[in-house]
Amino acid sequence: MVRLLLASVVISALSLTVALASNRAVANDDIVFPANYSQFVLYATYNEAGNRPELLATGQLRELYASRATLEAAKAGGPLPDGTVLVRVRYDVARDAKGEPIQDAQGQMSKARLLGFGVMEKRARSPNSHPEGEWRYRGFTADRQPNHDGIQPEACFACHLTAKHRDFVFSYERLVSANK
């Protein structure tokens, strides 16, 4: 009897875990490519490698975009408001004959072709929210279609958890300084 009860509890817990994970994944499926993206402000550009030379071979250039309202909210300080959308655009870069990324005198790479987009969207807490925050993540292909094989929301959140003190936004300081 005890074994049967214990097995029932374990199965219920596993079912709940799968249901919550599924709901969270589905919840990110309702993020659409922002129609007003072309009106956003470019607030940062950086080489994917940053200050990590071992990543230089990936050769990606990233541009970060936000609405003017988001930049103003960041300038005011505190967490960004519900409805905030941040867009990261990924580009492959120009390469030399050996396939190495070409950098200018300032160490900046040049765009070669659009690879895709990453979108972060902040929404009010709901039953499907991650327990640690309200941000949702979704990847899009170069033609702005959902990238089901690319960005995995749970992996994004796990990484962004390290920026919890900045409202889960790695580039928060760049949002603030874009207003100056």
Q: Could you read off the pLDDT of 85-113 as tens digits, one per residue?
A: 999 999 988 888 988 888 888 888 888 99
Four-residue CA torsion sign, 167, 76, 120, 113? negative
Q: Could you read off the pLDDT of 115-144 as tens digits, one per residue?
A: 999 999 998 876 666 666 788 889 999 999
Q: Could you give the CA distance from residue 156 to residue 173 in angstroms, rounded to a whole number? A: 19
Host domain of residue 75: 2-177
Instruction: Give the CATH number for residue 39.
Output: 3.50.70.20
Q: Could you read off the pLDDT of 140-170 as tens digits, one per residue?
A: 999 999 987 766 777 788 888 888 888 889 9
Q: How many domains does the chain have?
A: 1
Classify burial at 19, counting beta carbons within 10 Å of its beta carbon; exposed 0-12, middle 13-18, buried 19 or more: exposed
